[in-house]
Amino acid sequence: MNILGKEKNFLGLEPEHSALDSAEIAIVSAPYEHTVSYGGGTGRGPEAILAASHFVEFWDEEFRCELAFEKGITTIAPLQFGSAVDEAALAMIEAQVGELMDKGKFVATLGGEHTISRATIKAHFDRIPGLTVLQIDAHSDLRESYEGSRWSHACVLSRVLEFLPPRQLVQAGIRAQCREEHARIEGDGIHTFYGWEIRQGVYGQSWKERVLDACGDAVYITFDIDGLDPSIMPSTGTPEPGGLLWDETVQLLKLIGKHRRIVGCDLVELAPVEGNPGPDFLAAKLVSKMLNAAFPGR
């Protein structure tokens, strides 16, 4: 497995803090883009996040640590899918994430379209009993198929629910779905926190605690960047108004990390816009915050 050096790795780390053998954290890049439905560009997401991460501070003033120096973060060279699509591409991602987990690494995967999370979640599900998946997303992604494909990013959680019990799925920020998805949520008892419920104060100030309550001990976070409000995150293929803002998102991550075990994560669907680097930097900082949240005790 090849790793990226200081010029291209996450945070621009020197070898002593980014070696494959010693780092406790591994960044996987899955620049997979095959079933985009509106705006394109997610295939360039991982590279843009890694480039922007060089402007993220090592010291986190909120978590009060330099996680990269304390744990080490290695960045694996991006997966190259060639002509592999759908199940073949997912098999490559699942194999790499699984191999790193078997080496004892905490794995954070950068997408790519949301389809990739079927693979990263499966790798975690097979190794961690009772896994909860916390999905932050504008879309519930529970269609059975979309535009003729079962492997569309719009159905990725349907593919996950082929192995994950539906009560172990928690969704937050949802504000676009079709009738069949709503019926599935109601019928299967999926914990879904809709954007309008959060914004209109249905759960009061405590919506984040309610999300926490719905999570079991071990939590995998799949973060679709379109879960954030387009005012702070315009660089995504399907922007939806009414999304999560920065501070409440970080507070949620911090709360989950304090009371549960965050065992892995991904960040998907960033579609970088030429000439607007701000959202790429936000995404890089969000990855850093997720990692900090995952290691609260250090």
Spatial distance between the Cα atoms of 232 and 252, rounded to a whole number of angstroms? 17
Quote the least distance from Cβ 71 to Mn ion, whole Å.
28
**Span near Mn ion by CB under 5 A; candidates 103-111, 119-127, 132-140, 201-209:** 132-140
DSSP-assigned beta bridge partners for residue 60: 65
| Contact between 33 and Mn ion per CB under 5 A | no
- H or E element at residue 224: strand 218-224
266 sits near Mn ion (criterion: CB under 5 A)? no
Cβ of 120: how many Cβ atoms within 10 Å? 30
| Minimum separation from the CB atom of position 238 to Mn ion (A) | 8
Assign 229 to helix, strand or coil: coil
User: Is it true that the peptide bond before 112 is cis, omega within 30 degrees of 0?
Assistant: yes
Q: Decide if residue 141 touches Mn ion (CB under 5 A).
A: yes
How many chain residues interact with Mn ion (CB under 5 A)?
Answer: 5
Q: Which is nearer to Mn ion, 75 or 235 (CB)?
A: 235
In the complex, the smallest distance separating the C-beta of residue 269 from Mn ion, rounded to whole angstroms, is 6
Asked if 24 and 297 touch (Cβ cutoff 8 Å), the reply is: no
Span of 35-43, 134-142, 176-184, 270-278 interacting with Mn ion by CB under 5 A: 134-142
State yes or no: residue 137 binds Mn ion (CB under 5 A).
Answer: yes
- Secondary structure of 51-77 in the HEC alphabet? HHHHHCCCCECCCCECHHHHHCEEEEC
181 binds Mn ion (CB under 5 A): no
Nearer to Mn ion, 27 or 142 (CB): 142
- Residue 224 or 229 with smaller CB distance to Mn ion: 224
Q: The tokens 């065992």 sit on which residue?
A: 263
Residue type, position 17, single letter: H
Q: Find all residues with CB under 8 Å of 136, minimum gap 6, and list them.
A: 171, 172, 173, 221, 222, 223, 224, 227, 244, 249, 252
The DSSP secondary-structure symbol of 194 reads: E
Cβ 137 to Mn ion, closest distance in Å?
4
Q: Of residues 33, 224, 240, 266, which one binds Mn ion by CB under 5 A? A: 224
Nearer to Mn ion, 115 or 168 (CB): 115
Q: Nearer to Mn ion by C-beta: 9 or 158?
A: 158
Question: Which region among 138-146, 163-171, 191-199, 201-209 touches Mn ion (by CB under 5 A)?
Answer: 138-146
Chain residues 189-218 in contact with Mn ion, contact rule CB under 5 A? none
Residue with smaller CB distance to Mn ion, 67 or 154? 154
Q: What does the binding site for Mn ion look like in residue numbers (CB under 5 A)? A: 114, 137, 139, 141, 224
